[in-house]
Chains A and B, each alone.
Chain A
Amino acid sequence: MSPEGLSKPDFDIPPEMQNQVALTTLDRIYNWSRKNSVWPMMFGLACCAIEMIAAAASRYDLARFGMEVMRPSPRQSDVMLVSGTVTKKMIPQIVRLYNQMPEPKYVIAMGACASSGGPFKEGYNVVAGVDKFIPVDVYIPGCPPTPQALLHGLMTLQKKIESQSLKEVSWYKKGPGEAIPVPVLGPDLIDLRKIALIREKSRPVADLKAETASAVEASQDGELPAKEEQND
């Protein structure tokens, strides 16, 4: 990269030295080096993964962005490209992989399914967007997004990386970051952060009726309703 993109604040560098010297801030050089070697995780979910492969191949060539090194291990990757429909059966693994990625980590929701459930949103096994569980940095629309759209998304991510500052980023704060609880497969997908809500809303109808009945009873001094027996 030419020093023009790096040099800031604008110091006057003599023209004969412009190709050898650059004056910059720590933030800038740190982000500049980070954004030009974002390693994606080698992880394809569905149709979008094929376009991701196409983007990595010679015609579109992700290597121009320093992103051609796909790592199969989450421990070595910087960005997770969620490329395809996220299903309930798969989301525990995705959350676990996300937790295993070292900071700084980014997530790109590639395509309609990963962003919101897409055409399959109404399906019983489909998670309506990966952002229900893990934070997403860039959303790419399309079904599937063309490789060009993916490249645009990655460039947007680069811009985001550029705008971060060492002073504020979470991964240099004290103490370990919090892991996202891995959802559990029950009669349906159980988000462990919503346990109270689930218990509250799935109480037996008889219970609810009894409660309202006893509330009515308290106000009217009526007899106990027979529905109490169905409780068991």
Chain B
Amino acid sequence: MTEAVLVNPLDNLVEHFPSGWLKKDERPGYTGFIVEREHLLEFARTMRDDFGFDYLSMVTAADYIAEGKFDVVYYAYKTIGGPALVFKVQVARDDAVVPSLVGLYPGAEFQEREVWDLMGVRFEGHPDLRRILMWEGFAGHPLRKDWKEPFYEEDVKPFKSRWPEGKPVNADDRNPYNDNVQYPEGFDPESWVPEAETLLYSGLQRVSHGEEFKTDELVVNMGPQHPSTHGVFRMVVSLQGEKIVDLKPVMGYLHRNHEKIAERNTFLQNMPFTDRLDYTASMSTNFAYALAVEKLMGVQVPERAEYIRVMMAELTRIMNHFFATGFLLNDLGVYFTASLYAIEERELILDIFEEVSGSRMMCNYFRFGGVVRDVSDEVLKKIHKLVYDRIPRKLEQFDTYLTNNEILRTRCEGVGVLTADQAIALSTAGPVLRASGVPYDVRRADPYSIYDRLEFDVVTGIHGDIYDRYLVRVEEIKQSIRIIKQLLRDIPSGPILAGKPAYQVRVPAGESYGRVEGPKGELGFYIVSSGKPNPERYHVRAPTFINLTSLAPMARGEKVADVVVILGAIDIVLGEVDR
């Protein structure tokens, strides 16, 4: 490690480069640097190789239609910890081309495709620039500010009235096709040739035939309806015998336009939508969104609320990891036995969530500056019983039956290996990254809330295979229990919300990025506010979406039966992948 890596270079970064390469972003409320498009590649290479920003966490774009330009935004970190390097490239809306960073950071592949799909910014040099969430042939780039959906009513909510003249109007009735569709002018449905996914199939590596030994090549489509894809996810796999030659994930089957809807919503209206991102861990998504908006608002969260927040986030982690481990066994062929045990524990935690928030899964519990309801002493007693008695016992049971189970070990050890270098380059996060031996945990690397006072270990694996990912998850449950025990011991009394509860919050103009270590990895919200009641830009850095970039490298060379387990070990949730 060179010395430069350990120094924080961000203060006088501009002087490091020839003049005209970059400048500080001096818009009020903004941070980071604006890099000239021509020098982006060279700049990123220097930052990665000389300064150690080896982890490109997020790529997105924002549409500033009034200024007529797109900002392509990059967030890079060091895996040894520390603040973010934020850099942006500004391009004109009619010349939206940016050099691709996939060569430097392979983890940018899907994110750049997403920006192309939804914003229409073309990335020059991208190896496989297809649409990712919508389908090839869809008209327009939906996240552009001048693109309007078929059910468009007004730019922002709250709408003037859904009951003009005292009667409700059905959205379908306002549309000429009486449905949620719109077509370009002069479109003739009968002459339309449906897209045959030629680009997808031609991008797939195939078997090269030897002279003497001829094998049949086979392309298998798994999903979107497949019992082991954890939802509506599709994998296109090319096979040689049983061996996987190449794999391409296809997603977007659950793309429900979270970002477009969110940019019409007011800030608080988005909170329940964040529940539906990672629907197995809604408290964590609440947490990240609340952090991002609070950063802009500059509110101080009361002490008790912080404790409650962290407690809920850690319970979510326990619940999620139980679920993930149970279903990993499902993918191995243990038809539902292990997951039934896991769901049993999950139900107990859901009971707590229902008691504090009123809903089992969609908690909608966090507010800007605190939480919505206080936690009663009975609930604390219940949590106490869970973490001191029930969960450790169950965990021991899991350990006894699974951890040294011969079948589990044979199926998982050495399968789906990701080395530390690969894991960092592919921008994986969470247990996938840590199982490869990279001790990167946002709770430690960039502490938020009260994590800096809590005692816990960052769990890492060694081999980066499925078995290590399993071990990391089990160990993280133990660490979460440890955290909750400290919280129960120290939780103070006091208010749970800063200020008065309000439907409309005042969010000053600027950008912010709030991130938490969710159960599945770094979960971040990138928010641009223009001072209005609605976010100008709202982007979710979904950990599982980016973790899926590593699916193909992990699966190549493995047997087709293992690809199901490899996918299961990433622990995807489609609400978050497709948003």
Contact = CB atoms under 8 A, between A and B. Distances in A.
A93 B225 contact: yes
Interface in A46-66: 46-47, 49-51, 53-54, 57-59
B187 A126 contact: no
Interface stretch (B50-58, B271-279, B457-465, B544-552): B271-279
Query: What size tier do the contact residues of chain B reach?
Result: 35 or more
A24 to B, nearest CB: 35
A205 B183 CA distance: 13
Contact of B137 (A58, A123, A185): A185
A43 interface: yes
Contacts of A50: 279-280, 361
A123 B347 contact: no
Interface in B76-91: none
B227 A128 contact: no
B353 to A, nearest CB: 12
Q: Of residues B192, B256, B343, which shows the largest number of chain A Cβ atoms within 10 Å of its Cβ?
A: B256
A201 to B, nearest CB: 5
Nearest to B227: A72
A99 interface: no
A97 B272 contact: no
A148 B186 CA distance: 49
A145 B109 CA distance: 37
Interface in A171-221: 184-192, 194-195, 197-199, 201-205, 207
A146 to B, nearest CB: 6
B137 A187 contact: yes
B255 A194 contact: no
A79 interface: no
A185 B183 contact: no
B232 A190 contact: no
Nearest to A44: B231
A201 B192 contact: no
Interface in A133-166: 143-144, 146
Given A46-B575, A58-B340, A202-B187, A121 B224 contact: no
B340 A185 contact: no
Interface stretch (A3-11, A31-39, A82-90, A101-109): A82-90
B361 A97 contact: no
B543 to A, nearest CB: 18
A40 interface: no
B189 A90 contact: no
B265 to A, nearest CB: 10
Contacts of A202: 183-188
Interface in B331-369: 339-340, 343-344, 346-347, 350, 360-362
Interface string B259-277: 0110010000000110010
Contacts of A195: 189-190
Contacts of A44: 231-232
A87 B195 contact: no
Contact of B575 (A47, A58, A117): A47
B200 interface: no
B49 interface: no
A222 interface: no
A85 B181 contact: no
Main secondary structure of the interface of A (DSSP, over half): loop
A47 B151 contact: no
Contacts of B171: 121-122, 128
B390 interface: no
Nearest to B188: A199
B183 A120 contact: no
Contacts of B195: 185
B568 interface: no
Contacts of B188: 199, 202
Given A90-B232, A93-B224, A119-B276, A190 B176 contact: no
A48 to B, nearest CB: 9
A191 B189 CA distance: 9
Contact of A126 (B152, B172, B183, B256): B256
A126 B180 contact: yes
B189 A124 contact: no
Contacts of B224: 90, 93
B254 A46 contact: yes
A97 B232 CA distance: 13
Interface string B221-248: 0001111000110000000000000000
B99 interface: no
Given A59-B347, A90-B224, A188 B256 contact: no
A45 interface: yes
A75 B60 CA distance: 43
B343 A53 contact: yes
Q: Of residues A120, A126, A195, A202, which shows the largest number of chain B Cβ atoms within 10 Å of its Cβ?
A: A202
Contact of A51 (B138, B153, B257, B361): B361
Nearest to B183: A202
A199 B177 contact: no
Nearest to B350: A54
A42 interface: yes
Interface string A1-31: 0000000000000000000000000000000
B43 interface: no
B394 to A, nearest CB: 14
Contacts of B135: 89, 185
Interface string A61-83: 00000000000100000000000
A201 B361 contact: no
B38 interface: no
A127 interface: yes
Contacts of B343: 53-54, 57-59
A187 B346 CA distance: 42
A90 B226 contact: no
A119 B177 contact: no
Contacts of B139: 187-188
A192 B134 CA distance: 20
B362 A144 contact: yes
A123 B118 CA distance: 13
B456 interface: no
B182 A188 contact: yes
B179 A42 contact: no
A87 B251 CA distance: 12
B180 A121 contact: yes
B535 interface: no
Contact of B177 (A42, A185, A201): A201
A2 B444 CA distance: 62
Interface of A: 42-47, 49-51, 53-54, 57-59, 72, 84-85, 87-90, 93, 97, 113, 117, 119-128, 132, 143-144, 146, 184-192, 194-195, 197-199, 201-205, 207
Given A119-B273, A122-B151, 10 more contacts: A46-B254, A84-B254, A121-B180, A123-B261, A125-B142, A128-B179, A184-B194, A186-B183, A195-B190, A203-B185
Chain A to chain B: the 4 pairs with minimum beta-carbon distance, closest first: A123-B257, A187-B139, A47-B279, A124-B149
10 contacts: A42-B227, A43-B225, A50-B280, A58-B343, A89-B134, A90-B254, A122-B152, A144-B279, A187-B192, A198-B183
